[in-house]
């Protein structure tokens, strides 16, 4: 006779938990993203051909990739510097600064754009100084850069800071004891140790900047051929029922997202090999 082995209540609970998690992720994450990717790829060559002959769409794509490149470089440099300041130095107000780093994650991008308008826009706090210098930030290219840098700032700082805290200061202190200067210690010890954290942060920064919408819409105004990024172009194209153009830009952004994810997975595999 076959013995009866009842399913443990713990096993049932685990299955219910896994099922609930997969259901939640499927509805909230996988289903909408899959629908977007499938529809974009179904549009395929026709949508891409539409983009090639649409200078406004091409300008929006070029602008988005330019902003992503600027965010990568700027946040790579200042994110690394900020992480070093937060983890390797003790000073008055450090905890406040540490909390402020996460502010872009807590504030709505639309509110971010509005806040920058109060500073740089018409009748803004800095409007007299900007006018005196002949500069324009709101509804211009610099405004897009400022908004993108703000919303992407925390990623590199946090990724590098986590690695620095995990590593501690033993290797850096040993290098200093052996006579290495602070700059030599940074180049030969600190930077090689945090390269994967820096890579994660830069990749996440790229993904976030390519998908930014709210802040650049409010601060840039989505002026066609001037401050209209790829995401705001998609929004305006759908509003004007230009589905082919919208799907074409969405397809290119989807391909860029796949490339970003592939780079992130490759970086993870490289780190696992070293561990």
Band (pLDDT 50/70/90 cuts) for residue 151 is very high
Q: What percent of the chain has pLDDT over 90?
A: 39
pTM: 0.85
pLDDT of the residue at 33:
75
Q: How far apart are CA 172 and CA 79, in angstroms?
A: 20
Q: How far apart are CA 135 and CA 121, in angstroms?
A: 11
Domains of the chain: 44-274 (1.10.3720.10)
| Residue 5 neighbours by CB under 8 Å, 6+ apart | none
Strand, helix or coil for residue 111: helix
Q: Note the pLDDT tens digit of each residue in 80-138.
A: 999 999 998 888 888 898 889 999 988 889 999 999 999 998 888 888 888 888 889 99
Phi, psi of 11 (to 5 degrees): -65, -40
């Amino acid at each position: 006779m076959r013995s009866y082995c009842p399913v443990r209540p713990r096993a049932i609970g685990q299955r219910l938990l896994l099922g609930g998690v997969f259901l939640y992720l499927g509805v909230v994450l996988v289903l909408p993203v899959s629908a977007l990717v499938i529809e974009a790829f179904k549009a395929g060559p026709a949508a891409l051909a539409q983009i090639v002959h649409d200078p406004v769409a091409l300008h929006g794509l070029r602008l988005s990739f330019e902003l992503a490149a600027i965010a990568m470089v700027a946040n790579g440099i200042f994110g690394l510097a900020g992480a070093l300041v937060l983890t390797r130095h003790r000073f008055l107000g450090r905890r406040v600064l540490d909390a402020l780093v996460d502010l872009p994650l807590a504030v709505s991008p639309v509110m971010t754009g509005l806040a920058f308008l109060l500073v740089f826009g018409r009748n803004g706090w800095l409007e007299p100084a900007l006018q005196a210098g002949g500069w324009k930030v709101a509804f211009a290219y610099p405004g897009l850069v400022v908004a993108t840098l703000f919303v992407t700032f925390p990623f590199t700082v946090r990724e590098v800071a986590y690695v620095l805290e995990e590593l501690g200061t033993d290797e850096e202190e040993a290098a200093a004891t052996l006579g290495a200067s602070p700059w030599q210690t940074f180049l030969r010890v600190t930077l090689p140790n945090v390269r994967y954290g820096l890579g994660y942060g830069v990749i996440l920064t790229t993904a976030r900047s390519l998908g930014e919408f709210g802040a650049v819409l409010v601060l840039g105004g989505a002026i066609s051929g001037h401050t209209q990024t790829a995401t705001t172009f998609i929004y305006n194209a759908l509003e004007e029922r230009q589905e082919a153009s919208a799907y074409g830009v969405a397809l290119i952004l989807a391909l860029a997202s796949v490339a970003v994810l592939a780079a992130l997975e490759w970086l993870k595999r490289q780190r696992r090999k070293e561990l």
